[in-house]
């Protein structure tokens, strides 16, 4: 039992007040990795073991539903150049592709383990992980095989950019991605994704990639409308994608489509921060009734942060979100984007993924930007730090 919780974010409106289901002076009881009881501390049942939260805030572990963590090398030079005035273009991905192909399985696995650990230390208890830096049949399959050793949320992103070998034959590359590469990757993937963007894959190519993945039992999610207006969001909604990610350039029709669907709008402020670009308008999406998730997009090119707290702070300061909305998006929103009813909330039956802050309220995540506030993390009931 965790007791003495000054402020508890349950994300369960049946158990507390407001959209975060807030409780004060609360307790949570865990058994065999699962939350079994939530309520006022003075009404808590007996428990074998007690942890006193000392009046601090407890919330669900963050659900980072969009990350690219199987890679080698870094792109410090590209970031440095961009911050010196050069524009970002999708082609920089190929730098990481070369380094990733040259890395051993052990190197990629160790890198991924380090990032998962780094995220865990900042309160992230569920992380999605995409392929997309191999771009050959063997390299994409090994990326997903390695990712599957660390998370069940694995995403086939062979359609990240056209592989350099196919620069003059993008149609041939789409054939590979929807054929032999998909066959090799599908056993290790839950999701299929495509970077639908000028310079990457157009609407027809994206549709081909996603429908081929669906035919192999994968569920779609889409890199949509990041750098420009385009067909990505409409395609995501039409195909019943779990999530349309980035959503930086949206028409009124795009916003309406998201609001009228089960497709989550996943916003990735680390990308705009790290490319010095205009942020997506979260307020507009929320006002229309869309479900919004926040995620890191952690990758070496355009958003090299694993910090969900950082994303919350930026979303509040720059994207029109309230602290409550941003925390909800980083927990329950991410869970919706991954279609995971067992995470992103603290309620009976949920997996006991918990983040204790060194702060009296979840609002401190935005109020104290850049400050390490992680006091303790439990994943499936196991104290990780
Ligand atoms: Zn991404």
Give distance in angstroms: CA of 130 to centre of ligand 1. 8
The DSSP bridge partners found for residue 255 are none
Beta-carbon contacts of residue 84 (< 8 Å; ≥ 6 apart)? none
Which protein residues have a CB closer than 5 Å to ligand 1 (ion)?
297
Across all residues in the chain, what is the average pLDDT? 96
Is the pLDDT assigned to residue 20 strictly greater than 80? yes
Backbone angles phi, psi at 166, to 5 degrees: -110, 20
> What b/e readout covers 219-250, taking b as 16+ CB neighbours within 10 angstroms?
bbbbbbbbbeebbbbbbbbebebbbbbbbbbb
Kindly indicate the confidence band of residue 261, based on its pLDDT and cuts at 50, 70 and 90.
Answer: very high
- Beta carbons of 49 and 371 less than 8 angstroms apart: no
Give the three-state DSSP class for 315: helix
Degrees, nearest 5: CA angle 189-195-201: 120
Pick from 362, 341, 367: which is nearest to 34 by CA? 341
Q: What is the mean pLDDT of residues 12-23?
A: 93
CA of 329 to the centre of ligand 1 (A): 17
pLDDT reading at 242 higher than 80? yes
The answer on pLDDT for 88 being more than 60 is: no
Looking at the DSSP bridge assignments, the partners of residue 155 are 130, 191
Q: Which of 30-39, 80-89, 143-152 has the lowest mean pLDDT?
A: 80-89
For the segment 235-262, the average pLDDT, to the nearest whole number, is: 98
Query: What is the arithmetic mean of pLDDT over 21-35?
Result: 98
CA of 223 to the centre of ligand 1 (A): 6
CA of 31 to the centre of ligand 1 (A): 36
Residues 6 or more apart whose CB falls under 8 angstroms from that of 368 comprise 359
CA of 68 to the centre of ligand 1 (A): 6
Please give the Cα distance from 351 to 329 (Å, whole number).
Answer: 18
Ligand 1 centre to CA of 350 (Å) is 28
* pLDDT (0 to 100) of residue 92: 80
What is the C-alpha to C-alpha distance for residues 6 and 282, in angstroms, rounded to an integer? 29
Q: What is the pLDDT of residues 48-63, one digit of tens each?
A: 999 999 999 999 999 9
Confidence (pTM): 0.97
User: From ligand 1's centre to the CA of 56, what distance in Å?
Assistant: 33
Residue 93 has pLDDT above 90, yes or no: no
Tens of pLDDT, residues 359-382: 999 999 999 999 999 999 999 999
In the reported structure, the alpha carbon of residue 303 is separated from the centroid of ligand 1 by a whole-number distance in angstroms of 9
Question: Which residues on neighbouring strands pair with residue 5, listed in sequence order?
Answer: 26
Would you place residue 355 in the very low, low, confident or very high pLDDT band (cuts 50, 70, 90)? very high
At residue 35, the 3 state secondary structure works out as strand
Residue among 14, 67, 17 at smallest CA distance from 337: 67
Q: Does the pLDDT of residue 244 top 80, yes or no?
A: yes
**Of 270, 251, 306, nearest in space to 62 by CA:** 306
Give the pair of three-digit tokens for residue 180.
């032999």
Half-sphere exposure of 359 (CA within 13 A, CB side): 16
Alpha carbon separation from 63 to 75, 81, 159, 301 (Å, rounded):
26, 32, 24, 21
Q: What is the pLDDT of residues 166-219, one digit of tens each?
A: 999 999 999 999 999 999 999 999 999 999 999 999 999 999 999 999 999 999
pLDDT band of 89, cuts 50, 70, 90 = low
Is residue 91 scored above 80 in pLDDT?
no
Ligand 1 center to 356 CA (angstroms)? 28
13 membership: H or E segment, kind and range: none
């Amino acid at each position: 039992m965790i007791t003495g919780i000054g402020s508890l974010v349950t994300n369960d409106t049946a158990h507390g007040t407001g959209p975060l289901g807030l409780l004060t002076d609360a307790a949570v009881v865990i058994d065999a990795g699962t939350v079994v009881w939530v309520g006022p501390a003075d009404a808590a049942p007996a428990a074998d073991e007690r942890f006193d939260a000392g009046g601090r805030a407890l919330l669900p572990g963050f659900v980072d539903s969009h990350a690219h963590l199987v890679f080698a090398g870094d792109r410090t030079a590209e970031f440095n150049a961009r911050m010196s005035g050069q524009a970002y273009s999708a082609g920089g991905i190929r730098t990481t592709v070369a380094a990733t192909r040259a890395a051993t399985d052990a190197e990629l696995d160790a890198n991924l383990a380090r990032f998962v650990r780094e995220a865990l230390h900042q309160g992230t208890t569920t992380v999605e992980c995409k392929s997309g830096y191999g771009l050959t049949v063997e390299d994409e399959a090994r990326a997903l095989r390695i990712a599957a050793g660390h998370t069940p949320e694995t995403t086939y992103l062979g359609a990240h950019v056209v592989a350099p070998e196919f620069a003059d034959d993008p149609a041939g590359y789409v054939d590979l991605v929807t054929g032999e590469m998909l066959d090799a990757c599908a056993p290790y993937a839950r999701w299929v994704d495509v970077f639908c963007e000028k310079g990457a894959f157009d609407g027809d190519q994206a549709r081909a990639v996603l429908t081929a993945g669906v035919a192999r039992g994968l569920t779609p999610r889409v890199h949509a409308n990041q750098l420009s207006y385009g067909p990505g969001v409409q395609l995501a909604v039409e195909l019943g994608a779990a999530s349309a990610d980035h959503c930086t350039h949206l028409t009124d029709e795009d916003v309406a489509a998201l609001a009228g669907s089960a497709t989550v709008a996943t916003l990735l402020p680390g990308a705009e921060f790290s490319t010095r670009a205009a942020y997506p308008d979260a307020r507009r999406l929320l006002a229309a009734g869309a479900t919004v998730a926040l995620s890191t997009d952690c990758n070496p090119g355009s958003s090299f942060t694993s910090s969900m707290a950082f994303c919350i702070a930026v979303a509040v300061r720059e994207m029109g979100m309230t602290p409550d909305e941003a925390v909800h998006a980083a927990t329950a929103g991410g869970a919706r984007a991954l279609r995971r009813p067992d995470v992103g909330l603290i309620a009976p039956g949920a997996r006991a993924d918990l983040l204790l802050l060194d702060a009296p309220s979840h609002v401190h995540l935005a109020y104290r930007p850049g400050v390490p506030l992680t006091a303790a993390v439990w994943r499936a009931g196991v104290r990780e730090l």
